[in-house]
Copies of this chain bind each other. A is one copy, B any other.
Amino acid sequence: MKACVLYSGGKDSSLMAVMLKKLGFDVDLCTANFGLYDSFHPAKLSAKSLEFNHKVLELDFEVLNKATDMIMENNFPNDGIKLIHNEVVEYAADYYPVVADGTRRDDKTPKLDKNQIRSLEDRKNIQYINLDSFGYKTIKTLVSSIFEVSKEKSNKENSSDYEVEIRLLIEEKGKSSEDIFPEHYQTRVIGYK
């Protein structure tokens, strides 16, 4: 059965992809894009290094715009990122019978709660899968046994997170994004061990 794993090139979504493949799903790794900047290239490279198909989900720019305004108003990213993630999941559910992401038991945001999951599965007649089975220790163990990763200062050339286009749009709107998204290190999967 065809499954779409929402994919950033990071460890968690890579683990989800490998797990679903091992369970027999036909996996596409899917990265959302809002038309502002082609931020999907790092994810596409990671997908290739793991020998998965990669697709770009072309979402409406207005989703990015609304989320970015929310983030600028809050001066904090969580609600906007959550809005984007929900919209991306809904979009993917229109094209795939199984939609998965790399959100974990210990994650707070972006993360669908049980009621959102039930609503999504019922409304769209799909299956939704995340990494709620696992805690951070298990994921750390699995990731380090399966993947080679690179770790670099995050920038728009090495990241496919939602953050990249949000930051660019904040700058386009004449503000600085550095308070909201402080400099951080970015881990990207670059192959199997």
Interface residues of chain A, those whose CB is within 8 Å of chain B, are 1, 19, 22-24, 98, 105, 114, 117-118, 121, 127-135, 137-138, 141-142, 145-146
Contacts and interface: CB of A to CB of B under 8 A. Distances in A.
A129 B114 CA distance: 18
A98 B145 CA distance: 16
A192 B189 CA distance: 33
A137 B131 contact: no
Nearest to A22: B22
A118 B105 CA distance: 10
Contact of A129 (B98, B117, B133): B133
A1 B146 CA distance: 13
Contacts of A121: 135, 137
Copy count, this protein chain: 2
Contact of A127 (B128, B138, B145): B138
A133 B131 contact: yes
A34 to B, nearest CB: 28
Contacts of A22: 19, 22-23
Nearest to A125: B137
5 contacts: A24-B145, A127-B138, A128-B135, A129-B133, A129-B138
Contacts of A141: 1, 127
Contacts of A118: 135
Contacts of A134: 127, 129, 133
Given A127-B138, A130-B133, A135-B121, A105 B98 contact: no
Nearest to A103: B133
B142 A23 contact: yes
A132 to B, nearest CB: 4
Contacts of A138: 98, 127, 129
Contacts of A24: 142, 145-146
